[in-house]
């Protein structure tokens, strides 16, 4: 066990030998900045003032050559090799609402939802408490570094964890996950993420998912429709997919007891063949354009959550900023 001292903060925290600087800080209840947890966003950078660390992924895209020259490291890819003194700015925004824990888990079910998205259900040795919309890190056998996957069930404390994952062509992690047999073992570390359900928000809810961004939006819909404080809120769900064969989620939402009273689903297809009739209830285009067309003048009236690939997230942010939606009511995860 090592001790990590944040310069000027006077709150040294312990870091187990197999943990990362970021996750040890979050487990200790400190608000260390982060987003993806997998080396891509760069939000977890710190400056190393004293001590030695191992870099778990030296080529991680979240760190530039300039960062390396300035002795900056990624908290999510750094393992302490001595006591450390580091420089970064903590923030209440990042403080964990549920302390992240690691548990062994076995795969109990793998069900195909579309041609390339499947639901995976794991039975965990330890209970994990999380909020709707959060994600966990799955360490898969033989894969270097964990992969981030959002839970698709509603938040709570559970030993069963459900995920919906898209098989990425030539993706190392998703390939192994899709090849796992029931009874095989992984390690799950979580929960993480700030795009969780705000149970005290006094606005209707807009959920926008693109591709594999389905899981956290489904979790949020399930949470919102079963949270008594949100009992009068409408839930608008926009799902962006490429083609008809990529569509999913509507049947799962329709199973929720409150859905018929308060739920609204719109599917948007970005790559629908020209001239072909659209499936019922679908429109063509990009999901951020559909959002604009449907809710443009009223976007500030919603609590807005979204998840999906970085291009979709950037388009969403542009739309929301141009409509002056306060960022305090916008919550999102980019899927790097």
Ligand X SMILES: Cc1cc2nc3c(=O)[nH]c(=O)nc-3n(C[C@H](O)[C@H](O)[C@H](O)COP(=O)(O)OP(=O)(O)OC[C@H]3O[C@@H](n4cnc5c(N)ncnc54)[C@H](O)[C@@H]3O)c2cc1C
Of 34, 149, 239, 335, which lies in the binding site for ligand FES, with binding defined by CB under 6 A?
34
Rounded Cα distance between 37 and 268, Å, is: 29
Considering only residues 101 through 160, tell me which ones interact with ligand FES, judged by CB under 6 A. Answer: none
Rounded least distance, CB 326 to ligand X, Å: 23
Rounded least distance, CB 44 to ligand FES, Å: 3
**Segment near ligand FES (CB under 6 A); pick from 73-81, 85-93, 258-266, 319-327:** 73-81
Nearer to ligand FES, 2 or 335 (CB): 335
Angle made by CA atoms 11, 327, 90, in degrees to the nearest 5 = 10
Q: At what angle do helices 310-322 and 287-295 cross, to 10 degrees?
A: 20
Question: Contact between 37 and ligand FES (CB under 6 A)?
Answer: yes
Nearer to ligand FES, 62 or 223 (CB): 62
Q: Which does 34 bind (CB under 5 to 8 A by kind): ligand X, ligand FES, none?
A: ligand FES
Of 19, 35, 303, 333, which lies in the binding site for ligand FES, with binding defined by CB under 6 A?
35
Beta strands at 282-284 and 185-192: parallel, antiparallel or unpaired: unpaired
Rounded least distance, CB 220 to ligand X, Å: 12
Nearer to ligand FES, 34 or 149 (CB): 34
Nearer to ligand FES, 77 or 132 (CB): 77
Rounded Cα distance between 107 and 160, Å, is: 10
Are 235 and 225 in contact by the 8 Å Cβ rule? The answer is yes
Contact partners, residue 278, CB within 8 Å, separation at least 6 = 269, 272, 284
Question: Contact between 41 and ligand FES (CB under 6 A)?
Answer: yes
Nearer to ligand FES, 75 or 133 (CB): 75
Site of interaction with ligand X (CB under 6 A): 36, 38-40, 57, 135, 144-145, 147-150, 163-166, 168, 171-174, 193, 212, 215, 333, 335-336
Question: Contact between 39 and ligand FES (CB under 6 A)?
Answer: yes
Rounded least distance, CB 289 to ligand FES, Å: 28
Could you give the C-alpha distances from 32 to 62, 145, 191, in angstroms and in order?
A: 16, 20, 15
Rounded Cα distance between 191 and 72, Å, is: 26
| Nearest in space to 206 (alpha carbons), one of 333, 284, 295, 335 | 295
Secondary structure (3-state) at 261: helix
Beta strands at 72-74 and 2-6: parallel, antiparallel or unpaired: unpaired
Rounded Cα distance between 38 and 66, Å, is: 20
Q: Report residue 329 as tokens.
A: 């009511």
| Nearest in space to 23 (alpha carbons), one of 148, 131, 126 | 148
Question: Contact between 332 and ligand FES (CB under 6 A)?
Answer: no
Count of positions (residues) in the chain: 336
Rounded least distance, CB 287 to ligand FES, Å: 24
Q: Which does 215 bind (CB under 5 to 8 A by kind): ligand X, ligand FES, none?
A: ligand X
Of 4, 27, 40, 117, which lies in the binding site for ligand FES, with binding defined by CB under 6 A?
40
Considering only residues 237 through 296, tell me which ones interact with ligand FES, judged by CB under 6 A. Answer: none
Q: Report residue 202 as tokens.
A: 């006094």
Rounded least distance, CB 279 to ligand X, Å: 23
Q: Report residue 218 as tokens.
A: 């489904």
Of 2, 13, 21, 42, which lies in the binding site for ligand FES, with binding defined by CB under 6 A?
42
Beta strands at 78-80 and 135-139: parallel, antiparallel or unpaired: unpaired
Binding site for ligand FES (CB under 6 A): 34-37, 39-44, 62, 74-76
């Amino acid at each position: 066990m090592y001790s990590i001292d944040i310069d000027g903060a006077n709150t040294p925290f312990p870091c187990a030998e197999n943990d990362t600087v970021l996750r040890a800080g979050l487990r200790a209840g400190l608000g260390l900045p982060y987003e993806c947890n997998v080396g891509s966003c760069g939000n977890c950078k710190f400056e190393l003032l004293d001590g030695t660390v191992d870099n778990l992924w030296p080529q991680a895209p979240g760190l530039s050559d300039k960062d390396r020259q300035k002795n900056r490291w990624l908290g999510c890819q750094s393992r302490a090799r001595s006591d450390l003194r580091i420089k970064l700015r903590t923030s209440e925004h990042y403080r964990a609402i549920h302390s992240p824990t690691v548990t062994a888990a076995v795969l109990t079910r793998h069900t195909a939802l579309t041609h390339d998205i499947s639901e995976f259900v794991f039975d965990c040795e330890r209970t994990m408490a999380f909020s709707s919309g959060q994600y966990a890190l799955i360490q898969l056998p033989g894969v270097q570094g964990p992969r981030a996957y959002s839970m698709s069930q509603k938040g709570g404390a559970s030993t069963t964890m459900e995920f919906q994952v898209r098989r990425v062509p030539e993706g190392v992690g998703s390939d192994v996950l899709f090849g796992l047999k029931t009874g095989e073992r992984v390690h799950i570390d979580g929960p993480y993420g700030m795009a969780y359900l705000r149970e005290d928000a006094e606005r209707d809810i807009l959920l926008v998912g693109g591709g594999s961004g389905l899981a956290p939006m489904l979790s949020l819909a399930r949470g919102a429709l079963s949270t008594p404080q949100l009992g009068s809120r409408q839930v608008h769900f926009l799902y962006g997919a490429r083609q008809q064969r990529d569509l999913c989620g509507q049947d799962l939402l329709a199973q929720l007891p409150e859905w018929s009273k308060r739920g609204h689903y719109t599917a948007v297809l970005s790559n629908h063949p020209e001239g072909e009739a659209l499936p019922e209830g679908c429109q063509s285009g990009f999901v951020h354009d559909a959002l604009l067309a449907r809710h443009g003048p009223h976007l500030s009236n919603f609590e807005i959550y979204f998840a999906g690939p970085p291009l979709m997230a950037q388009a969403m942010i542009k739309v929301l900023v141009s409509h002056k939606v306060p960022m305090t009511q916008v919550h999102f995860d980019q899927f790097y």
